[in-house]
Chains A and B, each alone.
Chain A
Amino acid sequence: MKRLVVIAAALAFSLALIATLLELPAATIDLRPAVAENLAASGVAHPVTAVLLNYRGYDTLLEIAVLLLALFGILALGLERQVCTLRAAERPLQLLARLASPLMVVVAVYLLWAGAWRPGGAFQAGAVLAAAAVLLHLTELLPGWLQPSARLRWGLAGGFLLFLGVATAMLARGALLEYPPAHAGALILLIEAGLTFSLGLILAGLFLFMTCDEGGD
């Protein structure tokens, strides 16, 4: 009996939610014309990339900062200090990973480059880089990371620092993150290249810092 009441209440709630959603008024602010109008001055030809790195560059700056903070959180929790013993994975698997990972690096660079005029961009390219690292780790070709070395730390933070550096350099000209239209394309590519590299390391780090607890089984 009680169950029936709960189900009926949940159903009624869902129906009310759906009814509300259907009655929502159409969005009164339409930003698409504004994006299309200023696309020529943004430095890129793909509207999504223009929004992410030019019009709303601030959001992307904070996004990479949040990802970096997440990684700091993992590092602060403490890693298991054990030397990872690599078990020899199967040969065909290792061969396939060796063949696939250079291709994945090429795909990442392509995604980064293509982001200027079609779907792609730093986040996707970084994810592909990280996936290559995870693949190499799973086939025992790349050991897990025990401690971030100084070089790795610079690599992890580099993308964010580069972005922040460019953003503050723009302060001299007027506003934070306001690129001069003539150099916007080059600046966005520079920022995206740094972001791709650091994002690849950060996302791979989320995996490789954590998986060092295999004492061999």
Chain B
Amino acid sequence: MSLALGFDLLLASALLWSAWRALTTVRLDHAVVVFIVFGLLMALAWARLQAPDIGLAEAAIGAGLSGALLLDAYGALRRREAERKAP
């Protein structure tokens, strides 16, 4: 029981930490990666709350697809910036 409680406490603090880092990190690429980490931790938290359905959806949509979209948006932003500087 105490092991499970320790894991839950660790998970909760990691969630809060990653949420805070995702919002406050200056570098966008770091923020996106931390957001994906947050999504995966959130999926774990749903699984711990006995809601595996939501956990599956969170892992696939929250972490996977939104993460990929954010990374792609970051890439597009960087390309646009490079184009503005180049000519």
Contact = CB atoms under 8 A, between A and B. Distances in A.
Given A213-B76, A217-B79, A127 B57 contact: yes
A48 interface: yes
Interface string B57-87: 1001100110011001000100100100000
11 contacts: A121-B53, A127-B65, A130-B65, A131-B64, A134-B65, A206-B69, A207-B65, A207-B68, A211-B76, A214-B76, A214-B79
Given A210-B72, A213-B76, A217-B79, A123 B57 contact: yes
Contacts, number: 46
A158 interface: no
Nearest to A47: B53
Interface residues of A, number: 21
B33 interface: no
Interface in A76-131: 111, 119-121, 123-124, 127-128, 130-131
Given A48-B53, A119-B53, A217-B82, A134 B60 contact: no
Contacts of A206: 65, 69
A119 B68 contact: no
Contact of B69 (A124, A128, A207): A207
Q: How large is the interface on B (under 10, 10 to 19, 20 to 34, 35 or more residues)?
A: 10 to 19
Contacts of B76: 211, 213-214
Interface of A: 48, 111, 119-121, 123-124, 127-128, 130-131, 134, 138, 203, 206-207, 210-211, 213-214, 217
A148 to B, nearest CB: 19
Interface of chain B: mostly helix, strand, loop or mixed: helix
Interface of chain A: mostly helix, strand, loop or mixed: helix
B72 A127 contact: no
A207 B79 CA distance: 17
Given A207-B72, A211-B72, A217-B79, A124 B65 contact: no
B56 interface: yes
Given A119-B53, A217-B82, A131 B69 contact: no
A210 B75 CA distance: 12
B61 A127 contact: yes
A210 B61 CA distance: 17
B44 to A, nearest CB: 14
